[in-house]
Each structure stands twice: as structure tokens, then as C-alpha cells.
Amino acid sequence: MKQWFLLYCKRSEQERAVLNLDRQGVECYYPQVMINKVVRGKRVQVEEPLFPSYMFVYFDPEEISYTTVRSTRGVADFIRQGRMPRPIRPELLYGLMLNENTPEQQVKLSTLPFVKGEKLVLESGQFKGIEAIYQEPDGEKRSFMLINLLGKQVTVSLDNKEIAKK
């Protein structure tokens, strides 16, 4: 039975991993967002992965082995719980897919009104209603949040307008 899993890819090799996994019959998904960025002195919109170096894959472990997927060029390893890769809840991914590249996901360049360690509640987007702890801005003015996702705390990057102070 096919299931979703989370892979960690080698730095900047998500495209290579997708190409090689597609050849093996593994469906791949990594959400991307459009952000405003200054490149060579000009402000441009570029598409970047929402979760750099992470990718969701959909396959049947009885047909394609974990070892085959893990050994694919561009892939570092599965995100695991114990020794076995942990399946991802499909509703989490379908929420990401539905909200990808909606106007709510577009990033505005603005100053961040949050302080490191401040508790927040996400107001919109695929993580609506989830409590988070603000960590720090990244170079593209997105906010890194420490959230309880997939049963443990992980860091994700979100648009400022999706956040409300608690």
C-alpha cells in the first residue's frame, strides 16, 4: 500500500533527487513559495522550497524498498522514528498542496514585529490554529517557527501574515 514519507535531501539537490526518484516510479512533492528577493541589485520574485532540503515521497515499500529510495542520488536519508521511516499523514500533505502558491502564501517584505521566544498562533494557511514559538527571520524575511509537526518539534518557514501573537 502506497504511503507518504519525508526525505532529507543533500543540500541544493532536491531537483536531482526528484529526477532520479521519478525514474524509479516514486512520486515526489516539495512545496514551493514565491518570494520577493533582491538579486544583483534588482527586486525579483523567485520560487523557493518551503522546506529547503526536505521532500515528501509517495510509494509502496513492498514494491520499492526503503534502501532503493534512500540510495538515490540527491537523497541523504529518510526522516525516521526509531529504525523505520515514519509514514506522514496524507491530510497534512493535501493541505499543503491545496494552499501552495495561493495569495496568502506570497511573502511581503516587511519588518518583523516578533521577539525570539515569543509564543504565537498561526492565523491562516495550512498551519492555521497551530501554536508556534518565533525563532528568527531568514534572509527572505520569512519567519522560522518551531512547531509541533509530525509528532515532534521541527522548524518551518512561514509568511508573517499567517502569524498572530498569543
CATH of the domain at 71: 3.30.70.940
| CA–CA dist 38, 29 (Å, integer) | 27
Among 101, 133, 154, which residue terminates a domain?
101
> Same structural domain for residues 76 and 133?
no
* CB 93, CB 22: distance < 8 Å: no
| CA–CA dist 21, 34 (Å, integer) | 25
Cell of 129: 490554529
Number of domains in the chain: 2
Cell of 2: 502506497
> Same structural domain for residues 9 and 32?
yes
Confidence of residue 75 (pLDDT cuts 50, 70, 90): very high
> Same structural domain for residues 119 and 37?
no
> Same structural domain for residues 19 and 48?
yes
Where residue 117 sits, what CATH number does that domain have?
Answer: 2.30.30.30
Q: Which helix (H) or strand (E) holds 146?
A: strand 143-149
Among 101, 120, 139, which residue terminates a domain?
101
For 51, the domain range is 3-101
24-49 pLDDT, tens per residue?
A: 999 999 887 777 777 888 888 888 78
100-155 pLDDT, tens per residue?
A: 655 554 443 333 456 677 777 777 665 666 677 666 555 333 434 434 455 555 55
